[in-house]
Amino acid sequence: MTAAPSMPSPPPTPPDTDAAAFVAALRRLKAWSGLSYRQLERRAAAAGHVLPYSTAATLLGKDRLPRREVVVAFVAACGLEADEARAWLAAHLSIACGDTPAARVRAEIRPAAARRPPDSRPRRPRPRLPRRALAGAAALLAVLLGGTVANGTFTDNQEVQITRPISGADLTRE
């Protein structure tokens, strides 16, 4: 009696809930592939991508959403088919754009009056200078202006000369 050949298990599916769940699924994908970080680096290079082993290890050690290019290289190195890779990229895009189920629920829970357009941020008041600093700047300006006026920088003590063309009428007046 021979044992039936075992079917390989399907790769994990990507969640589109949040960054932490996405990275946890990437960890499961690496475990499913059975590859080391160095092997992932070599397979990504063979597929035309750049995925240093240190980047792969760092990405799986955090709960932040990785860059799209890293996800593309990672799923290619793990050996996913095109349709499976597209599903991972769609989930990545959904999380990156904030169009996740959790974000939709949070948006529905907030009252409409509390919502504001994403580009309108509350304005912070500009910091005001202390009165002593303003008084000191005014005193310094007064000293500088007083010195230039006393020096004659803003006054012109030279004789005014007429710089218009001389006509015959001007010569006969004298």
pLDDT at 9 over 70: yes
pLDDT tens for residues 10-24? 889 999 889 999 999
| Residue 96: CB atoms within 10 Å | 16
Q: Where are the domains of the chain?
A: 19-114
* pLDDT tens digits, one per residue of 145-163: 776 666 665 555 555 565 6
Closest CA to 51 of 67, 70, 28, 33: 70
The pLDDT of residue 44 is above 80? yes
pLDDT of residue 101: 62
pLDDT attached to residue 169: 60
User: How far, in Å, CA of 65 to CA of 59, rounded?
Assistant: 8
The radius of gyration of the chain's CA atoms, rounded to the nearest angstrom, is: 37
Report the pLDDT averaged over residues 51-71: 94
Assess whether pLDDT exceeds 80 at residue 34. yes
For domain 19-114, give the CATH number.
1.10.260
Whether pTM exceeds 0.75: no
Higher pLDDT among residues 8 and 32, named by residue: 32
**Contact (CB, 8 A) for 28 and 60:** no
Q: What is the pLDDT of residues 66-110, one digit of tens each?
A: 999 999 999 999 999 889 999 999 999 999 988 766 555 455 545
Q: In this predicted structure, what is the pLDDT of residue 154?
A: 54
Q: Residue 112 above 50 pLDDT?
A: no
| Interval 124-147: pLDDT, tens | 666 666 777 778 888 888 888 776
Query: Concatenated DSSP letters for the chain?
Result: -PPPPPPPPPPPPPP-S-HHHHHHHHHHHHHHHT--HHHHHHHHHHTT----HHHHHHHHHS-SPPPHHHHHHHHHHHT--HHHHHHHHHHHHHHHTT-SHHHHHHHHHS-GGG---TT--PPPPPPPPPHHHHHHHHHHHHHHHHHHHHHTSS---SPP---S---HHHHHH-
Q: What is the mean pLDDT of the chain?
A: 78
Tell me, what's the pLDDT at 3? Answer: 47
